[in-house]
Structure 1
Amino acid sequence: MIIWIIVNQVQANCQNDTSQSKFVYRRVCYFANWAAKRTDNISRLIPEDIDPFLCTHINFAFGKVLESLILAPYEEDDLKGWTLNSKGMYERLLTLKEINPDLRVLLSVGGWTHASRGFNDVSKNDANIKTFVNNSIKFLRDNKFDGLDLDWEYPGAKDQGAEPHSKTGYTKLVKKLSEMFQEEATQTGKERLLLTCATAAARHRIEAGYEVKEVCKYFDFVSVMTYDYHGSWEGKTGHNSPLYGMRKERKKFREWNINSSMNVWVELGCPKEKLNIGLSAYGRAFSLLREPGITNNKSMRKKKSSIGLKAGAAEPGKYTREAGVLSYYEICELIQKNSSNRVYWHREMSVPYVSSKTLWIGYDNIRSVTLKMQFLKEHGYGGVIMWSLDLDDKTGEFCNEGSFPIFNAAKNELLILPDYLSNLNEKCFDNNTLSIEQFDSQSTIIGAINRNFFFCFLLDIIIYI
């Protein structure tokens, strides 16, 4: 009798599923509005350069928060083009949805340089929060965005100007955004605005700024910025985005890697299926300073594979022009044009680095990106965020790996589903593929997937028995 009830319930679950969607790992790509203003065609990226099917979501970076509790564009041409009849950058990016209707385009608000400005005022009290949320809904709808990506860097961070109330204020803000997004969708009949965030990767930032278990209830997904672990500000070499830590690493840095950061979010109560890991299409570059006994590549490699050597910021790349940072295509060019810039593989960290007598770069390539996406799938995380589209080799001319090789490496690996998800798609879903947030009333799909998988898996076992 019990078996009969279970079988019928499972069959009903599969047959009554009207979502008509397949499981898709999230691929959240950032479009930086300043990239369209670069003067050379190599480093400039405009919306028309982007493959509409490369990403499941594109976050427009950035919008800003004013003291008047409203959202606003950063650049004049975000809303309107420079000439009378030209389109603004918002509209041009949203045009990609005409080719790929399943693409979702969100406005990312904040960023590192924005810090806590505006956010402190917004989160100060309930009245301010409600005013801001109402203003945000209007701004997002007026400009046809599909949602809001909250990139406050960071609540609780005194060095970034966050005020004492910011941790609890952040929770109240997120809850009200979620509630009012749902109310607005119910009243208007429109697809609910998505609510997502970009968040800290370091434990001290996470614990200082987020009531993790609570805020994760309200976000459609949470994107952990698992990069910028090390840089020239430390005065020594360190990898930008290691997958794992080193055994002999100092305790302070032992959790400064993707594996550990994601574990912190899970440990503090965020469901794995809501979490995205972060991927960067750039490297942190160092100009090595001479030390006694460190005179050539051989001796440098003996010293922790060149990790921890005294160093400053490398010279800016000739295209991106930021000291200590090089785009993926600039790194490819350095490797190809100078044989002394050799590529090594760090076994413990599972990432590559470039090392020569004067230069050290910690970055990602196709091999490490593929490993990171396999890690993502093995651990049950929901997707990846990638910063940023303009830093990849958009034409493929520099790295000879095809267009957008870093982003496509992530996409190609994430399109290969684990067996249990492939089987689930075949048993409980039809042949249509929709973006994740369109499934299950626009909630994250993976939780629902896991539940349905359990029923379908159980059905297999019962029938076999």
Structure 2
Amino acid sequence: MSKHFDYYLLTCRNLDMINVMVYDFHGAFESFVGHYAPLYASSLDVTDEQKTLNVAAGIQYWLDEGADPQKINIGLGTYGRGFSLADPNNSSLYAGTYGGSEAGPYTREMGVIGYNEICELDSDWEYTWDDEQQVPHIQNGNQWLGFDDQKSIQLKIEFANSKNLGGAMVWSLDTDDFRGLCGNGPYPILNTINQYLN
């Protein structure tokens, strides 16, 4: 048994739970488009490193190292990360960017947007669902925002259930749609987690 493997087993034995933050894989700290928390890799992910920057690979790593699945909580976001596209006509993964998206009225940080802020956006944003990565993004001109919604959260919870994980952790409560502006009642992300988590 390797020292690396022993470390994971020792760590798991001494912890009640392990919150695995499988998000923030991409963001304005890079110079290209990437979803902050894709469930699976894209066909455009070609390097070994690129293929690991997703929820499924992140969780599987801990399981492969011997972590008890019942101690693992899948990390979920109620926010997203965005970019200012270098070319508004090229919004594919790995398209060039020149910084983060415009700051939202509450988070007030370029490149970060709460789900509650997304729910307040005008209808001229175009919604796109990525069938490979199983996550959405929206675009308006040169602004590209990748985030989680009820559909992607449900799929992540179903993935967690399939791996017999212990539960979920959320970052953060204050950026869920607590006023119900997206039309699904207040706290749609949290309610989706509660509905589908075994």
TM-score, reference length from structure 2: 0.92
Give the counterpart letter for 2:163 in structure 1: H
Q: 1:248 aligns with which of 32, 36, 44?
A: 44
> When you count strand as a share of all residues, which structure comes out higher?
2
Q: Give the secondary-structure state (helix, strand or coil) at the position aligned to 2:13.
A: coil
Q: Give the secondary-structure state (helix, strand or coil) at the position aligned to 2:82.
A: strand
Look up the match of 1:328: 115
Q: Give the secondary-structure state (helix, strand or coil) at the position aligned to 2:144.
A: strand
Q: Which has the higher contact order (CA 8 A, sep 6+)?
A: 2
Please state if 1:307 is matched with 2:103. no
Alpha-carbon shift at residue 274 of structure 1 (Å): 1.0
Q: 1:221 aligns with which of 2, 11, 17?
A: 17
Alpha-carbon shift at residue 258 of structure 1 (Å): 0.8
Look up the match of 1:349: 133
Alpha-carbon distance between aligned partners in 1 of 2:107 and 2:140, rounded to the nearest angstrom: 22
Q: Give the secondary-structure state (helix, strand or coil) at the position aligned to 1:330.
A: helix
Unmatched tracts of structure 2, length 5 or more: none
Alpha-carbon shift at residue 275 of structure 1 (Å): 0.7
Please state if 1:403 is matched with 2:189. no
Alpha-carbon distance between aligned partners in 2 of 1:248 and 1:333, rounded to the nearest angstrom: 31
* Cα offsets for 1:26-47 (capped at 9, x unmatched): xxxxxxxxxxxxxxxxxxxxxx
TM-score, reference length from structure 1: 0.40
Give the counterpart letter for 1:212 in structure 2: Y
Alpha-carbon shift at residue 244 of structure 1 (Å): 0.5
Alpha-carbon distance between aligned partners in 1 of 2:104 and 2:43, rounded to the nearest angstrom: 33
- Dislocated runs of 4+, deviation >3 Å: none
Q: Give the secondary-structure state (helix, strand or coil) at the position aligned to 2:18.
A: strand
Look up the match of 2:69: 272
* Cα offsets for 1:223-269 (capped at 9, x unmatched): 10010000011111100111111133132211111110111111111
* Cα offsets for 1:93-131 (capped at 9, x unmatched): xxxxxxxxxxxxxxxxxxxxxxxxxxxxxxxxxxxxxxx
Alpha-carbon shift at residue 355 of structure 1 (Å): 2.1
Look up the match of 1:262: 59
Aligned positions, number = 193
Identity across matched positions, percent: 37
Alpha-carbon distance between aligned partners in 1 of 2:194 and 2:73, rounded to the nearest angstrom: 14
Alpha-carbon distance between aligned partners in 2 of 1:260 and 1:247, rounded to the nearest angstrom: 15
Please state if 1:239 is matched with 2:35. yes
Larger radius of gyration: 1
Alpha-carbon distance between aligned partners in 2 of 1:383 and 1:213, rounded to the nearest angstrom: 19
Alpha-carbon shift at residue 319 of structure 1 (Å): 1.5
Look up the match of 1:368: 152
Query: Is the CA contact (8 Å cut-off) linking 2:34 and 2:93 kept in structure 1?
Result: yes
Q: How does 1:166-185 map to 2 (within 5 A)?
A: none
> When you count helix as a share of all residues, which structure comes out higher?
1
Alpha-carbon shift at residue 272 of structure 1 (Å): 1.1
* Cα offsets for 1:175-225 (capped at 9, x unmatched): xxxxxxxxxxxxxxxxxxxxxxxxxxxxxxxx7xx9211100011111100
Q: Give the secondary-structure state (helix, strand or coil) at the position aligned to 1:216.
A: helix
Alpha-carbon distance between aligned partners in 2 of 1:353 and 1:405, rounded to the nearest angstrom: 17
Change (3 A) 1:358 1:338: farther
Q: Give the secondary-structure state (helix, strand or coil) at the position aligned to 1:283.
A: strand
Alpha-carbon distance between aligned partners in 1 of 2:44 and 2:78, rounded to the nearest angstrom: 28
Alpha-carbon shift at residue 320 of structure 1 (Å): 1.5
